[in-house]
Structure 1
Amino acid sequence: MTRHPSARPTPAARFTSVPIPDGAEPLIRISHLTKAYRGRPALADLTLHLPAGRIVGLMGSNGSGKTTLLKILAGLLSEYDGRVRIGGHAPGPESKALVAFLPDADFLASGLKAEQAIAMFARLFPDFDADRARELVDFFGLPKDRSLKEMSKGMGEKLRVSLVMARRARVYLLDEPISGVDPAARDVILSGVLRNFDPEALMVISTHLIADVEPIVDSVVFLKDGRLLLAGDADDLRQAHGMSLDALFRKEYH
């Protein structure tokens, strides 16, 4: 799904960056980012630049720093060292207007029905497209007459995806959007995520389910113990290592 030409590194190269197209500016710039909880580093001296027009798989085992990174980019965590810019803005009100964030947790009241949730998002976000949300709700086949507490886990995740992906954002941050649902639901959710996705936007999908997202990602970032382990174009990594991203993940995290 690569959308931009990029210089191809040699097979022997150690991949530590996502390719930036010639003449393009990174949409996300992270320099020497360090974040600790009670003295324990969650992110350690992380430097990473991500361009627009890419779907990036943010991969790593539990505790590797994926959620912490996404929360910083979403403007939900502060008190870190280093420099972070989204569309030229430090995390805050201006950057939040560019970012749609799907957390790895329920963020809707359990009594809400789909149309009530759509109405709530329409009030909260100026860039929210209610018609697009309804189209995704229909695509997922979600019931209109049930509240979240009456839906399955997979249905609830599909509703949350419908809401987040209906924003006209420049950056989409999805934290484990397919975790905890069955394989069939994973495929449907990923199809919904890609449905009418703006090819000039940037999407970062955090996951440890590499095989499920491998077919849709353009670039990958591997985190381990809060540090950058590998990063690069997905095709380049497969070619250089002679294996799938899933196999490479298992090798690197063995």
Structure 2
Amino acid sequence: MTGSANREEAEVEQLLEFEAVSKKYGNKAALRDVSLSVGPGRIVGLLGSNGSGKTTLMRIAAGLDRPDSGTVRVLGHEPGRASKALISFMPDRPQFERWMTVGEALDFQRDFFADFDPDKSKRMLEFMKLSRGDKASSLSKGMQERLQLTLALSRRASLYLLDEPIGGVDPVARGHILDALVEFYEEDSSMIVSTHLIADIERIFDEVLMIKEGSLVLRQEVEQLRMDSGKSVDQLFKEVYAEC
């Protein structure tokens, strides 16, 4: 009985589990037999070129798409209402309406999610140099990215999924956004960040997952990867994708 209880406890400790997950859109395979797990307290880089399957993986983890085969668990839950309450997903497109002010976007997030933290959102607004009265339609691309992150990180979620959070901003703004990721995510949670801009962001990763043509081709601790290969994550990424 004790052994069974220990196994159940070990399983629940994993925030996210994929087991042999596959997904097709029409005749195109977006994910091919992907298995992975993410424990608490991790910042994980989900790396791949455009069209490699990163967004599909995130949407399935967030419960927005269903896999064709395989199983997904979020803290032991199948994707659904319970799992969605544990995940804060930042898509690669704005999750606010252009007519909204920054304050209205935050109020909408507060009304929709029970784990929204008003004090945290206030600190994030200050950090991001945003004002509640700013109109979303008047924000630059970089400031819209900051608002996206503020919406996502103002929640006290168990798992944060950020899809290309620095894809549309300049290098100076990228540094500010990376600082926000480290500063404001919950330490007992985990964060998965998808990107193809490795050199700018690899410094914050504990672990990387590389996905190519829908298949997981590498999963490793960042420090171990650097010691084993003598290369940066960005250098190794370029080698892996040069073989395409």
Q: Which residue of 2 aligns with 1:103?
A: 91
- Check conservation: 1:137, 1:162, Cα contact below 8 A: yes
Question: The residue matched to 1:253 in structure 2 has which SS?
Answer: helix
CA distance in 1, matches of 2:129, 2:235: 34
CA distance in 2, matches of 1:169, 1:107: 17
Q: Which residue of 1 aligns with 2:6?
A: none
Q: Which residue of 2 aligns with 1:45?
A: 33
Question: The residue matched to 1:203 in structure 2 has which SS?
Answer: strand
1:21-43 Cα distance to aligned partner (Å, 9 max, x none): x9983221111000000021000
Q: Which residue of 2 aligns with 1:228?
A: 216
Q: 1:241 aligns with which of 221, 225, 229?
A: 229
1:40-64 Cα distance to aligned partner (Å, 9 max, x none): 1000011111111100000000111
CA distance in 1, matches of 2:15, 2:132: 37
1:107-158 Cα distance to aligned partner (Å, 9 max, x none): 2010111111111111000000122112111111124432111010111110
5+ residue gaps, structure 1, are: 1-21
Residue 96 of structure 1: how far off its partner (Å): 0.4
Q: Which residue of 2 aligns with 1:73?
A: 61
Q: Which residue of 1 aligns with 2:7?
A: none
User: Per residue, is there more helix in 1 or in 2?
Assistant: 2
CA distance in 2, matches of 1:63, 1:242: 28
Q: Which residue of 2 aligns with 1:87?
A: 75
Question: The residue matched to 2:184 in structure 1 has which SS?
Answer: coil
Q: TM-score normalised to the size of structure 1?
A: 0.89
CA distance in 2, matches of 1:119, 1:198: 21
Q: TM-score normalised to the size of structure 2?
A: 0.92
5+ residue gaps, structure 2, are: 1-9
- Asked if 1:27 is matched to 2:18, the reply is no
1:148-191 Cα distance to aligned partner (Å, 9 max, x none): 11010111110110111010100000000000110011111111
- Check conservation: 2:145, 2:165, Cα contact below 8 A: yes
1:63-118 Cα distance to aligned partner (Å, 9 max, x none): 11000000000010015210110100111101001000000001201011111111
Structure of higher RCO (CA pairs closer than 8 Å, 6+ residues apart): 1
Large movers: runs of 4+ above 3 Å: 22-25
Q: Which residue of 2 aligns with 1:202?
A: 190
CA RMSD of aligned residues (A): 1.4
CA distance in 1, matches of 2:98, 2:78: 33
Range 48-57 or range 188-197, more displaced: 188-197
CA distance in 2, matches of 1:183, 1:48: 31
